[in-house]
Every structure is written in structure tokens, then in C-alpha cells.
């Protein structure tokens, strides 16, 4: 039997711990080096999938209640309730959601923008509030435009939100917390 036939049998038919581990390693390699880059190429961004790791975009209520609690800020920015209702993700999204991104070439006010900030280790996922020669964002669950999001350099932009997959991001969040905890134990 040739090497490829033996390998194929080992991966698909053998029921051993070594085969199981090899399958996991193979799946990680395929996702990381084939699927993820191909998806990024198709969607026009190097990071087509991100997990939401904060609560800054959660509405914690139905839209009407959320709007009543936040309308003063948006009206001061000349954003009406009717305009907001036409924004993508008008009901926000939750920590633990997965966001599928596309390139951010045609951004407009109300879009969900993902970008890097020097003041945060994770990318920021917030709504565009001001767009002209400068871009400013704000989390729907944050009272103000914070300093780090007042003038976002275009080179820091990763992409804009296309759609979300609810709560699937908790897999990454939990894994990251476990790895971080192990790392802290080892380093202390």
C-alpha cells in the first residue's frame, strides 16, 4: 500500500487516539491556512471572522426601550430614530457573537466598523457615528464617543460587519481565557 493510501486509512478509518489527534491538527491547518485566507480573499479583508469580546454593543432591552435611554446622544449627532432603524444591526449584538466581516471600502454612517486601537489589545467593533475626513465610532452600550474612537486612521480598519452568528464566539473567548489562565500559572 502506498504512503497516501496508508495515510488516508489512518485519517478516515483508524479509530485510535493518534488518528484523532492527527485529524484535529489537520482540521486546524486546513481552517487556518486554506479556509480562513480564502474567505478573507473573497470578502476583501485579512480578518473575515472575529469574535465579539465585550458588551459595548449590547442593547440589553428591546429597541424602543434602548432608544428612549439613548436618544439624546443620537439626536445630538443628528441621527434620528428612523435613520437608526435602517442601520445594520439596529438591535446591536452580544458578547460571544461571531461577526463575519467584509472589506470596508464603502462605509457609511451606521455601519459596524472593526478596527485596531493602540489602547486596546483586541479589535474594536463599534458603530460609525461620524464619517467625513475623519471617522468616529461609538458602542451602542456606551454613553459617549471615547477618545480612542474619535479619529480612526484608515490603516487601522479591518472591515465592516456583514452578519453575525449568535454566541458561537464563546468558543474562542473560553479557549482564550483557559490559555491565558494556564499562561499566568506557568509565569507566576
Is pLDDT above 80 for 56?
yes
Percent over 70 (pLDDT), the chain: 99
pLDDT number for residue 1: 59
What are the E-state strand segments in 52-156? Answer: 98-102, 112-115, 124-131, 135-138
Q: Name all domains of the chain by residue range, CATH numbers in brackets.
A: 3-43 (no CATH), 53-173 (2.10.109)
Rounded distance, CA 47 to CA 149, Å?
Answer: 20
Rounded distance, CA 78 to CA 131, Å?
Answer: 13
Q: Give the model confidence (pLDDT) of 93-127 as tens digits.
A: 999 999 999 999 899 999 999 999 988 888 999 99
Q: Give the model confidence (pLDDT) of 26-46 as tens digits.
A: 998 998 899 999 999 999 999
Q: Give the model confidence (pLDDT) of 82-95 as tens digits.
A: 999 999 999 999 99
The model's pTM:
0.83
Amino acid at each position: 500500500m502506498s504512503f497516501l493510501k496508508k495515510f488516508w486509512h489512518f485519517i478516515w478509518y483508524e479509530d485510535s487516539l493518534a488518528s484523532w489527534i492527527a485529524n484535529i491538527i489537520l482540521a486546524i491547518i486546513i481552517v487556518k491556512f486554506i479556509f480562513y485566507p480564502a474567505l478573507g480573499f473573497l470578502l476583501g479583508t485579512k480578518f473575515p471572522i472575529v469574535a465579539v469580546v465585550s458588551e459595548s454593543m449590547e442593547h440589553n432591552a428591546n429597541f424602543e426601550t434602548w432608544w428612549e435611554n439613548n436618544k439624546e446622544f443620537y439626536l445630538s449627532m443628528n441621527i434620528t430614530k428612523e435613520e437608526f432603524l435602517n442601520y445594520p444591526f439596529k438591535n446591536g449584538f452580544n458578547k460571544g457573537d461571531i461577526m463575519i466581516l467584509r472589506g470596508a471600502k464603502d462605509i457609511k454612517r451606521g455601519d459596524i466598523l472593526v478596527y485596531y486601537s493602540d489602547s486596546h489589545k483586541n479589535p474594536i467593533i463599534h458603530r460609525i457615528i461620524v464619517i467625513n475626513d475623519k471617522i468616529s465610532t461609538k458602542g451602542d452600550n456606551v454613553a459617549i464617543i471615547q477618545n480612542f474612537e474619535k479619529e480612526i486612521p484608515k490603516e487601522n480598519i479591518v472591515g465592516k460587519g456583514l452578519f453575525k452568528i449568535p454566541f458561537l464566539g464563546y468558543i474562542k473567548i473560553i479557549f482564550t481565557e483557559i490559555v491565558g489562565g494556564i499562561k499566568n500559572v506557568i509565569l507566576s
